[in-house]
């Protein structure tokens, strides 16, 4: 009887924990879908002037239009696209008509065009303010010898180019043969898959518990 009670308690506790994890992932799914919907709505709004003090939370993905000039200073972030292969994102210093210096993610160039001369010139840029989260614990640091960045390190690049830590991702062509890579409200969203995994494990745990109980309780020959 003690053995039966032990397996029954273990079975109930295990299923309860696995079901709780599954329902938690469903709540995370609702939270993530709300974030995606909010970002999508923000991106569809009409462009506005650059905020005086952009907020990483309130202004993330906000459409903005600025006039001024590219200074000719830029950083190169290692990147790759399915259609064009390995290359670099060009993050350029931009001086607005009001005298502010910000970063503009102009888009992608192939490896062979990284060192192409792109002198400063006047421009009007429409895009979305983005605070990237490219960096992870495994992202290599800036390679000073080759002048290559491995992520859109906003604090690092803005310090190097002496701009505000503000980045505008261009929606359209800004010239110089750079292919624009407009911002998208794309977030990793695997919560439904995780929830189904936890629910599946709960079902397996239930079957294993029933099997153990059946083997314990069945009449012995």
Tell whether the model's pLDDT for residue 172 goes beyond 60: yes
Break the chain into its structural domains and give their ranges: 2-39+188-217, 62-170
The counts of H helices and E strands in the chain are 3, 5
DSSP-derived 3-state class of residue 75: strand
The beta strands (E) that lie in 82-170 are given as 85-96, 101-110, 121-129, 167-170
7-32 per-position pLDDT tens digit: 778 888 989 999 999 999 999 888 88
d(CA 216, CA 214): 5
Predicted pLDDT of residue 132: 86
Q: Does the structure show a pLDDT above 70 at 220?
A: no
Calculate the alpha carbon distances from 19 to 9, 36, 60, 61, 101 in Å. Answer: 15, 26, 35, 36, 51
Given a cut of 80, is residue 152 above it in pLDDT?
yes
Could you give the CA distance from residue 212 to residue 201 in angstroms, rounded to a whole number?
16
pTM of the model: 0.72
Could you tell me the pLDDT band of residue 219, with boundaries at 50, 70 and 90?
low
- Average confidence (pLDDT) over 95-104: 96
* Each residue's pLDDT tens digit, 46-65: 999 999 999 998 899 999 99
Task: Reduce the DSSP state of residue 71 to 3 states and report it.
Answer: strand
């Amino acid at each position: 009887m003690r053995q039966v009670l032990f397996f029954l308690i273990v079975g109930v506790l295990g299923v309860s924990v696995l079901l709780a994890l599954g329902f938690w992932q469903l709540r995370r799914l609702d939270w993530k879908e709300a974030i995606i919907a909010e970002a999508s709505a923000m991106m569809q709004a009409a462009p506005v002037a650059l905020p005086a003090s952009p907020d990483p939370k309130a202004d993330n993905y906000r459409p903005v239009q600025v006039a001024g000039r590219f200074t000719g200073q830029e950083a190169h972030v290692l990147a790759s696209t399915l259609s064009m292969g390995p290359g670099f994102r060009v993050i350029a210093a931009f001086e607005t008509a009001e005298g502010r210096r910000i970063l503009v993610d102009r888009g992608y160039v192939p490896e062979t065009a990284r060192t192409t001369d792109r002198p400063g010139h006047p421009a009007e840029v429409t895009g979305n303010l983005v605070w990237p989260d490219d960096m992870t614990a495994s992202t290599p640091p800036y390679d000073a010898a080759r002048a290559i960045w491995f992520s859109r390190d906003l604090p690092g690049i803005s310090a190097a180019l002496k701009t505000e830590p503000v980045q505008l991702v261009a929606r359209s062509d800004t010239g110089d043969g750079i292919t624009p890579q407009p911002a998208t409200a794309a977030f990793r969203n695997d919560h439904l898959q995780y929830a189904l995994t936890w629910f599946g494990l709960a079902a397996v745990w239930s079957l294993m518990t029933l099997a153990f109980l059946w083997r314990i309780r069945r009449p012995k020959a």
